[in-house]
Structure 1
């Protein structure tokens, strides 16, 4: 089972990957939205913003998200680490229910280029 620190490190790597992306990925990540990632097996939520092509984790706390973010993710720590490490395909994990993604319709349309 991935630790809280490994999950935080994975989110930081994801932020770096998005910041250095170009083309469709960069434009999809250029939204300004609140973001939460609930790591279900650790019962920990990371909250922050997706802005300017970067993810900024501002807070982490035990339990489910305290506020409803505009983009909400939920998955196990192992799946988060595997996804960022390239060992788990996001689209397949989402389709199988291993990863949950909730967002407004327009945001989902933009985010599909990240899949």
Structure 2
């Protein structure tokens, strides 16, 4: 099991990876969404925001508006790190039940193109 700090570092790496996506792809596939990432084995919840400019850094503080996230991801700590490092395929992880994403079908398709 990875630590909270390792998960925080993995999410920071994910933010950096989103920064590398070209502007044309972001404009085509990104719509503004709030994102939560629940690390199931650690009982911690991170919040972020996806927008045309990229992905904002994740924080453990819930959004001030108190609304639920548009995209909710549930994943174990080791799987989060493997996913961000490219060792775990998102589609296989979803089909295998290792990752759960609660989002609209359109949001799922957009995320698949970006990850």
Question: TM-score w.r.t. structure 2 length?
Answer: 0.83
Tell me which residue corresponds to 2:3.
3
Higher strand share: 1
Residue 44 of structure 2 corresponds to which residue in structure 1? 44
Q: 1-side partners of 2:75 and 2:103: how far apart? A: 15
| Cα distance in 2 for residues equivalent to 1:15 and 1:68 | 21
Q: Which residue in 2 is equivalent to 1:107?
A: 107
Superposed CA offset, 1:13-65 (max 9, x none): 1111111123775332x32101000000000000121112522235316xxxx
Contact 1:46 1:57 in 2 (8 A): no
d(CA) in 2 for partners of 1:25, 1:98: 27
Q: What number of residue pairs does the alignment pair up?
A: 110
Partner Cα distance (1:105, 1:83) in 2: 21
Measure, in 2, the Cα distance between the counterparts of 1:75 and 1:25: 26
Cα RMSD of the aligned pairs, angstroms, is 2.1
Q: In 2, distance between residues paired with 1:84 and 1:38?
A: 15
TM-score between both structures, scaled by the size of structure 1: 0.83
